[in-house]
Amino acid sequence: MENVKVILWGLGSMGSGIATDIVTNKQGIEIVGAIGQNPAKIGKDLGEVLGLNRKLGVIISDKPEQVLANNKADIVLHSTQSFTKDVFPELALIVNSGKNVITIAEEMSAPQVETPDLADELNKLAKKSNVTILGTGINPGFVLDTLILTMTGACQIVNKIWASRVNDLSPFGPTVMKTQGVGTTVEEFHAGVKSGAIVGHIGFRQSIYMIAKSLGWKLDDIAETREPIITNVYRETPHVKVQPGMVAGCCHIAKGYKNGLEIITLEHPQQIHPELEGVKTGDYIVIEGTPTIKFTDEQEIPGGIGTMATAVNMIPQVINARAGLLSMPELPIISALMGDVRQLIKR
């Protein structure tokens, strides 16, 4: 049986991590093409760029059309940008080349929310080429939607969903510090939120849309707030120093309302060194209903590894799926790939 053939589009930290996971940990999958944009990587062998100390026979290219046209592949793993409008041309190119695609673009977990026209168009293109498009990742895609939905499966009634993903930004670099407002004054933080420079988490609306649609809740409204996490103690990382009274992170909260009642609350407070003020990181999910279900993971699932893992783990489901633009709740449950992936593919 032939290996499952994958093309990678995007070789930043996520794309490189996905590639390394496939090469190092997976059986029955083979990388046959790699598209990057960093001039330092173009023309080099993927194995060398990944630091694997061996060649993979895959030369990194900055010519997507050529890579897609010249390589037979079952699926493209796409890791370039976050917003549907930015990735649409790339996804269209992939789909038109007759290949399935998994993208980690956050908005693509449910592109209907922000860009229904582009979602329609992608769905049509996918059906025309008889391929499947899926957006996934740790969040949106897993912790605050797929996992919550799965837990509601043991409920006869769900009255309200509350979940919080409390993490530690300390390991991240300067870009994340900026987009989360770490190290700003309170005034700068509010100005940054207003200007769009401080974005917080991308994906709340998509997670809430997937939850509500799957449960059958019709929401009146989704509202988001981004508030500064003001520190009372000195906190620092190699990239930022935060004095007491300044901003150590962004508490981003999204709420879904039904008949005027707050029925879904998703919180994602992200900051550096939460432990310095006794804040425990973790994933917390509470389904209020019949029965009420509360699950807690006191070591939050790491976002980077989790995103790489979810993207790779959905490969069989996406190859096996019917054609079209699909979302996580429409596909068979995700699980880790510990055996030969070929045995999971229905040819």
Q: Judged by CB under 8 A, how many residues of this single chain contact a second copy?
A: 60
In sequence order, the β-bridge partners of residue 97 are none
Radius of gyration of the chain measured on its C-alpha atoms: 21
Tell me the C-alpha distance between 286 and 292, whole Å.
Answer: 7
Q: Is 313 in the site for a second copy (CB under 8 A)?
A: yes
Tell me the C-alpha distance between 272 and 270, whole Å.
Answer: 7
SS3 state at 136: coil
Q: Is 130 in the site for a second copy (CB under 8 A)?
A: no
Q: How far is the CB of 337 from a second copy (least distance, A)?
A: 6
Phi-psi region of 292 (alpha: psi -120 to 50; beta: other; left: phi over 0): beta
Tell me the C-alpha distance between 38 and 54, whole Å.
Answer: 20
Scanning residues 271 to 300, which ones bind a second copy (CB under 8 A)?
283, 289-299
Q: Is 343 in the site for a second copy (CB under 8 A)?
A: yes
Options 14, 93, 101, 158; binder of a second copy; rule CB under 8 A: 158
Span of 102-110, 144-152, 237-245, 268-276 interacting with a second copy by CB under 8 A: 144-152
Options 102, 149, 166, 325; binder of a second copy; rule CB under 8 A: 149
Q: Are strands 75-78 and 100-103 parallel, antiparallel or unpaired?
A: parallel
Options 105, 108, 301, 315; binder of a second copy; rule CB under 8 A: 301
Q: Is 171 in the site for a second copy (CB under 8 A)?
A: no
* Closer of 96 and 152 to a second copy (Cβ): 152
Q: How far is the CB of 343 from a second copy (least distance, A)?
A: 7
SS3 state at 157: strand
Contact 312, 20 (CB under 8 A): no
Q: Is 244 in the site for a second copy (CB under 8 A)?
A: no
Query: Would you state the torsion angle of the CA atoms of residues 23, 92, 84, 262, taken in this order, to the nearest 10 degrees?
Result: -90
Options 150, 170, 185, 265; binder of a second copy; rule CB under 8 A: 150
Largest distance between two CA atoms of the chain? 62
Tell me the C-alpha distance between 100 and 77, whole Å.
Answer: 9
**Mask of contacts with a second copy, 183-222, x by CB under 8 A?**
-------------------------------xxxxx----
* Closer of 215 and 279 to a second copy (Cβ): 215
Q: Is 305 in the site for a second copy (CB under 8 A)?
A: yes
Q: What is the DSSP letter of 159?
A: E
Q: Is 133 in the site for a second copy (CB under 8 A)?
A: no
Q: Is 330 in the site for a second copy (CB under 8 A)?
A: yes
Tell me the C-alpha distance between 27 and 30, whole Å.
Answer: 8
Contacts with a second copy, residue ranges (CB under 8 A): 21, 25, 27, 138, 142-143, 146-147, 149-158, 214-218, 283, 289-299, 301-302, 305-306, 308-310, 312-313, 328-341, 343-344
